[in-house]
Amino acid sequence: MEAIQAAKAVVRALYAGLDAPGADQAAVLRQHCVDELTWRGFHPFNEIRGPARVAEKFWGPLRASLTSLQRREDVFFAGLNQIDGFNGVWVVSMGHLMGLFDKAFVGIPPTGKIAMLRYCEFNRVVDGKITETAMYFDLPHLMEQAGIRAFPKQTAQHLVQPGPRTHGGLLFDAQPASEGEATLALINSMITNLGQWNSGLSLEDELRLDWAEDMLWWGPTGIGATYTIPRYAKQHSGPFRAAFSDREKTSHIARLAEGNFGGFFGWPNFTARLTGEFMGHPATGKRGEFRVIDIYRRDGDKLAENWIFIDLLHFWKSQGVDILAQLQDGTLT
């Protein structure tokens, strides 16, 4: 418990430094991260090594684009990582980075108006320093705020994603260990039940094993958010299963829970072959990677809410559809 609370303090100190007006991003990152930091971000940033490079490649350009940057955090928790035998401590933060969109970012044109970059970040803390970061963010949503629809045929509805319905996602204080254990056990059950694709149950009944009937699935731009088991099955899970085959077994770098919140990420989580129509694009027959973060809220013995981050720009580039290149050459408007 002490190690978890200490790790939270490290990450909160990092955020206080990064979010301060006029902060020296490189200096703040060097203070709180090891020199060999491994930073994983969505396309086009991908993997970056070292605090100085992270400041140069990501935080500097982002703060230059979204001026008066403000962190609006909805979920914050930490825990021991199941994937390494509950040895490593990871801290999770999710919300929006909000600012005034005053300068182009990765080719997305500025609006001069308020804009929100939806993010989720996992940080591993070892001996008071951050050694690994997974920083995932919804760039297609930022495009939509600039009037550009990268994925016009989404099956559900994308919104500015709210935080938990309970407004209780900021777990700055220590939580009962039994609550986190129950959340992690439910997440593991869901992974087992939904990961097989051959349970013999209907999709809706398969979902009911672990999900509340009024579940909320806050999906990424291009797929969208959906509400209730029947609509989730119709608007995402069913179309997704119909579009892909030859799915590899899911793997994660970190999976943890605290209180009634938990989540995981992979690099990638899994690969699958696109053998049907997906997001308005025809089958390619190509295998693609899915880099994903999932954050869950447990309500009693069911999962009630799920926030999902998928690197769709990376996936579609592997299928021959380079969204950022289209943006640059003017064919995406």
Domains and CATH numbers, the chain: 2-145 (3.10.450.50), 177-329 (3.10.450.50)
At residue 155, the pLDDT reads 78
Residue 68: count of CB within 10 angstroms of its CB: 11
Q: Compute the average pLDDT of residues 205-223.
A: 96
Q: Report yes or no: 163 and 245 within 8 Å, Cβ to Cβ.
A: no
pLDDT in tens, 93-143: 999 999 999 999 999 999 999 999 999 999 999 999 999 999 999 999 999
Please count the CA atoms within 13 angstroms of the CA of 84 that sit on its side-chain side.
10
22: tokens are: 């006029």
Helix/strand/coil (H, E, C) string of the chain?
CHHHHHHHHHHHHHHHHHHCCCCCHHHHHHHHEEEEEEEEECCCCCEEECHHHHHHHHHHHHHHHEEEEEEEEEEEEEEECHHHCCCCEEEEEEEEEEEEECCCECCECCCCCEEEEEEEEEEEEECCEEEEEEEEECHHHHHHHCCCCCCCCCCCECCCCCCCCCCCCECCCCCCHHHHHHHHHHHHHHHHHHCCCCCCCCHHHHHHCCEEEEEEEECCCCCCEEECHHHHHHHHHHHHHHHEECCCCCCCCEEEEECCEEEEECCCCEEEEECCCECCECCCCCEEEECEEEEEEEECCEEEEEEEEECHHHHHHHCCCCHHHHHHHCCCC
Place of tokens 């089958």: 283
Q: Which of 19-33, 78-92, 155-169, 257-271 has the lowest mean pLDDT?
A: 155-169
At residue 332, the pLDDT reads 80
Q: Compute the average pLDDT of residues 228-249.
A: 94
Provide the whole-model pTM. Answer: 0.96
Q: Compute the average pLDDT of residues 233-244.
A: 94
Q: Residue 77, Cα to own-chain centre: how many angstroms?
A: 14
112: tokens are: 């001069």
Q: Compute the average pLDDT of residues 157-171.
A: 91
Residues 6+ apart with CB under 8 A from 229: 204, 207, 208, 211, 213, 215
pLDDT of 196 strictly over 70: no
Taking CA atoms, 87 is separated from 176, 189, 318, in Å, by 18, 21, 34
Q: Report yes or no: 310 and 291 within 8 Å, Cβ to Cβ.
A: yes
Largest Cα–Cα distance in the chain?
A: 57
Q: Compute the average pLDDT of residues 281-288.
A: 96
74: tokens are: 């909805």
Q: Compute the average pLDDT of residues 227-240.
A: 95
Classify residue 303 by burial, with Cβ atoms within 10 Å: 0-12, 13-18, 19+. Answer: buried
117: tokens are: 């970059």
| Length of the chain in terms of residues written | 333
154: tokens are: 């989404």
pLDDT of 241 strictly over 70: yes
Looking at per-residue pLDDT, the higher value among 155 and 208 belongs to: 208
257: tokens are: 């829970």
